[in-house]
Amino acid sequence: MFSATKIREDFPILRRTVHDRPLVYLDNAATTQKPRQVIESLVRYYETNNANIHRGIHTLSVEATEQYEAVRGKVALLIGAPSNDSIVFTRNTTESINLVARSWGDANLSEGDEIVLSLMEHHSNIVPWQLLARRTGARLRYIEVTADGHLDLDMARQLIGPRTKLVSLVHMSNVLGTINPIGEIAGMAHAAGARFLVDAAQSAPHLPIDVTGLGADFLAFSAHKMLGPTGVGVLWAADGLLSEMEPFLGGGEMISLVRQDESTWADLPHKFEAGTPNIADVIGFGAALDYLAGLGMPAVREHERNITAYALDRLGALPGLNIHGPSDVDQRGGAVSFSLEGIHPHDISTILDSRGIAIRAGHHCAQLLMRALDVPATSRASFYIYNTEDEVDALVEAVEAVQRVFNGVSHRTAV
């Protein structure tokens, strides 16, 4: 049985205090905390197996290589990938997307071609395409966001057409929580002959995912947002795509034969992993994937659905508090952004911090969305497997305190 209280025991950091209050960590969309199983796997690696991989004959190197390569299988299992060779380890979602922009984009886009994004994209799914557009002369088009925080599907239908070479879309918004209709967009993209990249940075950690079912051509996500160490990202690509693509980074480990003027490439996926990889953290990511597999992604989703529903209920009841994004918990995940009238998110975040509550305040790397919502910034609480309703209560109480401070409804009215 899924029990957040039980799960909390696995997370050493949840025992610390902040400003003398127990830490209430609600910044999971930025990065999640790590269970001791992950931390221990890093320690075990460095204390018993550490070596460079792939070309070594000695025992440590063989052990490290086996452990590193085994994680590909765990990733494949998580996302339903038919083969391990289509899974490339990068640093983060951002690098995965840049890899596609450089290796696939430079070869496949030219003047007049269009890339369709949306206004709810994270900067990591905007800037690589701006740079690509500048290199190739391609053009960016943006699907707008409706007042209730959904993609404007009519507009998507209009924008995605014969000029479209790529559609790149966030699966779950890191600001609004919106879960986008990926299957439907995949249909539009493929009908137009375009490729489809899914930014799964916020979905892979929180939802069961099946790449073949989704209809994605590329899928990108980050280990650090799903219990894993920092420094590991994943790029998955549909059959055949990676083998057609040029290498992204050149160097050790990604070659087969090197001659003075040209080289041939190693088999997939190694062709895309130049230099010494982040071996320890990939292995640590394996421990994170084991942990999630132990819980089961449907149970993870169910827990977050419940806690998000509770948070929407309680926060929604506060006067002067405006929640951005869908209210239906079946159409959203646990990133809950809100604004308090007349109070800047940074002030909210500081006051919450003084009570040990960690939320994020700012543009959340989504300046286009901030402009579309017409706010300079928002406050965001985001949940994961170890968060409890008690913590939501603490959040709500703290927000009420913020309102008292700023609106002078407390003892401070007497100015």
Partner 1 sequence: MVSATEPLFDDLYRETLLEHYRSPRNRGRLEAPTHHAEGLNPVCGDEIRIDLRMDGDRIAEIAFDGQGCSISQSTASMMSVEILDRPVEHAMAVQQAFEAMLTAGAEPSAILGDLEALQGVSKFPVRIKCALLAWKVLAESLKSPNKEETHD
- Residues with catalytic function: 365
CB of 5 to a second copy, least distance (A): 19
Query: Quick one: which of 16, 154, 193, 327 contacts a second copy (CB under 8 A)?
Result: 16
Q: Which residues of 374-398 are buried (b: 16+ CB within 10 A; e: fewer)?
A: eeebbbbbbbbbbbbeebbebbbeb
SS3 state of residue 176:
coil
Please choose, out of 17-25, 140-148, 197-205, 384-392, the segment that lies near ligand PLP by the rule CB under 6 A.
197-205
Residue 123 lies near partner 1 (rule: CB under 8 A): no
Residue 259 lies near partner 1 (rule: CB under 8 A): no
How far apart are alpha carbons 88 and 220 in whole angstroms?
10
**Residue 358: beta bridge partners?**
25
Residue 93 lies near ligand PLP (rule: CB under 6 A): yes
Residue 228 lies near a second copy (rule: CB under 8 A): no
Residue 202 lies near ligand PLP (rule: CB under 6 A): yes
Q: Which residues 341-370 are close enough to bind a second copy by CB under 8 A? A: 346, 349-350, 352-353, 357-362, 365, 367-368
Please choose, out of 86-94, 129-137, 189-197, 402-410, the segment that lies near ligand PLP by the rule CB under 6 A.
86-94
Q: What is the DSSP string of 10-44?
A: T-GGGG-EETTEE-EE-BTTT-----HHHHHHHHH
Phi and psi based region of residue 408 (left: phi greater than 0; alpha: psi -120 to 50; beta: remaining): left
Do 87 and 272 touch, CB atoms closer than 8 A? Answer: no
Do 212 and 401 touch, CB atoms closer than 8 A? Answer: no
Residue 350 lies near partner 1 (rule: CB under 8 A): yes
Q: Single out the residue of 120, 95, 23, 31 nearest to residue 363, CA to CA.
A: 120
Residue 10 lies near a second copy (rule: CB under 8 A): no
Question: Which one-letter DSSP state was computed for residue 358?
Answer: E
Query: Quick one: which of 16, 19, 135, 371 contacts partner 1 (CB under 8 A)?
Result: 19
**Residue 24: beta bridge partners?**
357
**Residue 264: beta bridge partners?**
257
Give the number of residues in contact with a second copy, rule: CB under 8 A. Answer: 98
Query: Quick one: which of 27, 113, 199, 273 contacts ligand PLP (CB under 6 A)?
Result: 199
Q: Token pair of 120, please?
A: 């709810």
How far apart are alpha carbons 229 and 181 in whole angstroms?
29
Q: Token pair of 257, please?
A: 């034969």
Please choose, out of 32-40, 76-84, 88-96, 138-146, the segment that lies near ligand PLP by the rule CB under 6 A.
88-96
Q: Determine the residue type at 134.
A: R
Q: What is the DSSP string of 263-293?
A: EEEPSTTGGG--SS--HHHHHHHHHHHHHHH
Site string for ligand PLP, 245-274 (x = CB under 6 A): -------x----------------------
CB of 43 to a second copy, least distance (A): 6
Site string for a second copy, 160-199 (x = CB under 8 A): ----------------------------------------
How far apart are alpha carbons 219 and 235 in whole angstroms?
6
Nearer to a second copy, 233 or 326 (CB): 233
Query: Quick one: which of 144, 309, 354, 372 contacts partner 1 (CB under 8 A)?
Result: 354
Q: Which residues 25-64 are close enough to bind partner 1 by CB under 8 A? A: 54-57, 61-62
Nearer to a second copy, 128 or 333 (CB): 128
Q: Which residues 60-119 are close enough to bind partner 1 by CB under 8 A? A: 61-62, 65-66
Residue 16 lies near partner 1 (rule: CB under 8 A): no
Please choose, out of 96-104, 275-283, 300-308, 338-346, the segment that lies near partner 1 by the rule CB under 8 A.
338-346
Residue 94 lies near ligand PLP (rule: CB under 6 A): yes
Residue 148 lies near partner 1 (rule: CB under 8 A): no
Burial of 233 (0-12, 13-18, 19+ CB in 10 A): buried
Q: Catalog residues that contact ligand PLP under the rule CB under 6 A.
A: 29, 92-94, 122, 124-125, 170, 174, 199, 201-202, 222, 252, 275-276, 365
